[in-house]
Structure 1
Amino acid sequence: MDTDAVIAAIAEPSRRRILDALRERDGQSIGELTEALAPLGRHAVLKHVGVLEAAGLIVSRKQGRVRRCHLNAVPIVELAQRWIDDFGARASAGLLALKSELERGNDR
């Protein structure tokens, strides 16, 4: 894994939006991603998808004339494991659960 490429890829907000869109519904076409990322145009989305592919965060396949993109979370998980030991992961999970619970309480 090229750590620098992964970090550079997820540093850009539009690329994170692409990853979020694929997390919500994997296997979207470039056209569907372009609609989800409006006002970005098709060429900008293609450029961002290329960067994400180079970092290994997206895998795309052509189905006829349609290019479908699929999320590959492995590089992000590897990146997280690099800096978070078992103790830190357990502590973080507890804090995230507390944060979620407190945020749900604010919605009531």
Structure 2
Amino acid sequence: MPPQDPLSATFGALADPTRRAILARLLEGEASVAELAKPFSLTPRAVSKHVAVLEAAGLVTKGRDAQRRPSRIVASPLIEIDSWLANYRKLWLQRFDKLETHLAKQTGGE
């Protein structure tokens, strides 16, 4: 299997709602796998596999704190997604502006 480009790996990792929830939790600060597993009906081993996917995509990094291996979020892949979306955001904003103008003309509110 050929290696994935970083953007595809990021989107692939974000495709799973559990992984998105893990990232949301990590926005609050670093956490161990056991801490990340608490709100889910998953075993720590299953959560560890999700964290491994996030780590492979560059979205999470693991530290070392004595016996703990806390995970923390990495923003750079999310910044890349935001940059990729910027062109599409611009397109949709232009379309919404045109729609707003059209609707204003239709209702006489120009």
Do they superpose with TM above 0.5?
Answer: yes
Match of 1:42 among 37, 41, 44: 44
Distance in 1, Cα, partners of 2:85 & 2:19: 22
Distance in 2, Cα, partners of 1:83 & 1:17: 21
> 2:6 maps to what in 1?
2
> 2:26 maps to what in 1?
22
Distance in 2, Cα, partners of 1:6 & 1:45: 18
Distance in 2, Cα, partners of 1:80 & 1:66: 32
Q: CA deviation at 1:29?
A: 1.2
* RMSD, matched Cα: 2.2
Return the TM-score normalized by structure 2. Answer: 0.72
User: What percent identity do the matched residue pairs reach?
Assistant: 33
Distance in 2, Cα, partners of 1:32 & 1:39: 13
Match of 2:61 among 59, 62, 69: 59
Greater helix share, structure number: 1
Runs of 5+ consecutive residues of structure 1 not aligned to the other structure: 92-108
Distance in 2, Cα, partners of 1:44 & 1:15: 11
Runs of 5+ consecutive residues of structure 2 not aligned to the other structure: 94-110
How many residue pairs get aligned? The number is 89
Q: CA deviation at 1:83?
A: 2.8
Greater strand share, structure number: 1
- The structure that has the greater radius of gyration is 2
